[in-house]
Structure 1
Amino acid sequence: MRDVQNEPDLRNIPLDRVGVSDLSYPIEVRDRDHKVQRTVARIAMAVSLPRDYRGTHMSRFVEVLESMGGQVTVHRMDSLVALLQERLAAQSAEVEFRFPYFIQRHAPQSGAASLTRYDVVFRASRQEDRFDLVTTVRAPVLTLCPCSREISEAGAHNQRAHVTLSVRMASIVWIEELADLAERCASCPVYSLLKREDEKHVTEQAYHNPRFVEDVAREAALALDGDPRIPWYRVTVKSHESIHNHDAFASLERDRRSPEVAP
């Protein structure tokens, strides 16, 4: 049978990335409290393609994924991209797993338990023998405007916001830790289930803890700077404004690695 994709290409143009994307796949993720959590990821996988190859072997991407048994941990990401390089004879390889992750939260007064969703991304790459992994956690929070509280006779505008933390790790940092950090930096956490006494508490906590997006970003930076396990991070805070027809955002990136370590 003729293997068309394996035929030589004469256009002399290498491709940076070829692969598969938007692949839905069930995975198991390490959970700090329950050991493992089952979820469904949207996966992208790619490798570099030399100039003399017409196409890559698309089926091998899924074969490599199948060989991992659906178990996704920080430590297995290196093995996964290294195996992609080997199976597809590529100089570089990368994978991206996007998945919802759920953490049980308890309402602040009633103690009512419910699950809160956090959006997580593992993005791993390998260039020759150099491995890189960025873990991202997007957490929903509440912000209350300090300016609005200061100038208003009653109340202040508040809104749901999202804190997105991307980190490179020197040692393990749990998803739960990043979610907790994001919530501590905001005016107040948000909850899926609140009773009346909880609504009162959340409303008043936010009112007594007003934060601009700039405040939230800086508080997150202070916390991340104090963690020796995190040599690089990016913080983005987006507030879905309740009295404006636009969002407000703030972001920053810090790299404390030596130049020879940075990608």
Structure 2
Amino acid sequence: MNNCVIEDIQGRADSRRIAIDKVGIKDILHPVRVQDKCGGEQHTVARFDMTVNLPHDFKGTHMSRFVEILNSHDREISIASFPIMLQEMLQRLEAESGYIDMRFPYFVEKAAPVSGVRSLLDYQVSFIGEIDAQGCRTKVKIVVPVTSLCPCSKEISERGAHNQRSHVTVTIATREFIWLEELIALVESEASSPIYGLLKRPDEKYVTEYAYDHPKFVEDMVRDVAARLEAEPRITAYIVESENFESIHNHSAYALIERVK
């Protein structure tokens, strides 16, 4: 039997005296369970980025420990468990700061506005956690697809108006729990029209005419959503972005508002 000690090269000292701000693993897949307002919990698969800082005198970090931390939580991972995971990272990797980004698709069942036919629509969600000497901070980020109809096109055209699919991205920090469904409903209520997974002909007529009656510039979209976020007492800070994938241009229209309340 070979009893020789295997050297830990990553544990060697480094002479370049250059600290690394973030080092770790990116894009690792792991099954998770997320709280669902209607069904209790939703099973999905998330992609994780997990990093820590590395002092100037350390050659490398221990990449396997990130995976060990992730697996030690099995599937019980949520925005509430992030502070625990971040503390574990600092302790096990002897770091001063850490970062976790967990991204996953979240599905909501929606009823079409006229026929009532039900279908699932997916939303891209991120839970983000950071920790350093100032403490632990967590954020929720969600991308909500909606329809936007151009007010200018409606005003100058005799027949119709150009419309497009838009992505409204909301990132929030909160003092109390907020359901993902609440954020989705907030954003969709300020769009020209919500988007649905399945529509019958009467539904298609309804959403087309509804959008025509509720035109929004990209600037209108971010201002109206920001006003709703500003009025929500559970939210302490927010970023709202809107990207309109223009149907008459080969570029997008974009706007962003960021506030700390």
After the TM superposition, which residues 62-77 of structure 1 pair with which residues of structure 2 at under 5 Å, given as runs?
62-77=67-82
105, 126, 148: which one pairs with 1:100?
105
Q: What is the one-letter code of the residue matched to 2:122?
A: R
Q: Which residue of 1 aligns with 2:58?
A: 53
Q: Provide the C-alpha distance between the structure 1 equivalents of 2:55 and 2:130, rounded to a whole number of angstroms.
A: 17
126, 137, 142: which one pairs with 1:137?
142
Q: Provide the C-alpha distance between the structure 2 equivalents of 1:129 and 1:153, rounded to a whole number of angstroms.
A: 58
What TM-score do you get using the length of structure 1 for normalisation?
0.95
Q: Which residue of 1 aligns with 2:26?
A: 21
1:206 aligns with 2:211: yes
Q: What is the one-letter code of the residue matched to 1:32?
A: K
Q: What is the one-letter code of the residue matched to 2:60?
A: G
What TM-score do you get using the length of structure 2 for normalisation?
0.96
Q: Which residue of 1 aligns with 2:3?
A: none
Q: Secondary structure at 1:147's aligned position in 2?
A: helix
Contact 1:30–1:72 (Cα < 8 Å) also in 2? no
Aligned residue pairs total 256
143, 148, 166: which one pairs with 1:161?
166
184, 188, 194: which one pairs with 2:189?
184
Contact 1:96–1:121 (Cα < 8 Å) also in 2? yes
Q: Provide the C-alpha distance between the structure 1 equivalents of 2:195 and 2:186, rounded to a whole number of angstroms.
A: 13
Contact 1:118–1:138 (Cα < 8 Å) also in 2? yes
Q: Which residue of 2 aligns with 1:261?
A: none
1:2 aligns with 2:3: no
CA RMSD of aligned residues (A): 0.9
CA drift of 1:129 comes to 5.7
CA offsets per residue over residues 28-72 of structure 1, 9 Å max, x none?
111111111111111100011111111111110000011111222
Gaps of 5+ in 1: 257-263
Q: What is the one-letter code of the residue matched to 1:55?
A: G
229, 233, 239: which one pairs with 1:228?
233
Q: Which residue of 2 aligns with 1:83?
A: 88
Q: Provide the C-alpha distance between the structure 1 equivalents of 2:77 and 2:115, rounded to a whole number of angstroms.
A: 35
Q: What is the one-letter code of the residue matched to 1:243?
A: I
Q: Which residue of 2 aligns with 1:124?
A: 129
Q: Which residue of 2 aligns with 1:260?
A: none
Q: Provide the C-alpha distance between the structure 2 equivalents of 1:165 and 1:215, rounded to a whole number of angstroms.
A: 15
Gaps of 5+ in 2: 1-5
CA drift of 1:248 comes to 0.5
Q: Secondary structure at 1:71's aligned position in 2?
A: coil
Q: What is the one-letter code of the residue matched to 2:108?
A: I
CA offsets per residue over residues 206-235 of structure 1, 9 Å max, x none?
011111111111110110011011010000
Q: Secondary structure at 2:247's aligned position in 1?
A: coil
Q: Provide the C-alpha distance between the structure 2 equivalents of 1:184 and 1:142, rounded to a whole number of angstroms.
A: 11
Q: 1:163 to 1:80 in 2, by over 3 A?
A: same
Q: Provide the C-alpha distance between the structure 2 equivalents of 1:40 and 1:149, rounded to a whole number of angstroms.
A: 42
Q: Provide the C-alpha distance between the structure 2 equivalents of 1:10 and 1:159, rounded to a whole number of angstroms.
A: 55
Contact 1:101–1:117 (Cα < 8 Å) also in 2? yes
Q: Which residue of 1 aligns with 2:245?
A: 240
Q: Which residue of 1 aligns with 2:255?
A: 250
Contact 1:28–1:36 (Cα < 8 Å) also in 2? yes
Give the % identical residues.
45
Q: What is the one-letter code of the residue matched to 1:49?
A: L
Q: Which residue of 2 aligns with 1:259?
A: none
Q: Provide the C-alpha distance between the structure 2 equivalents of 1:150 and 1:34, rounded to a whole number of angstroms.
A: 44
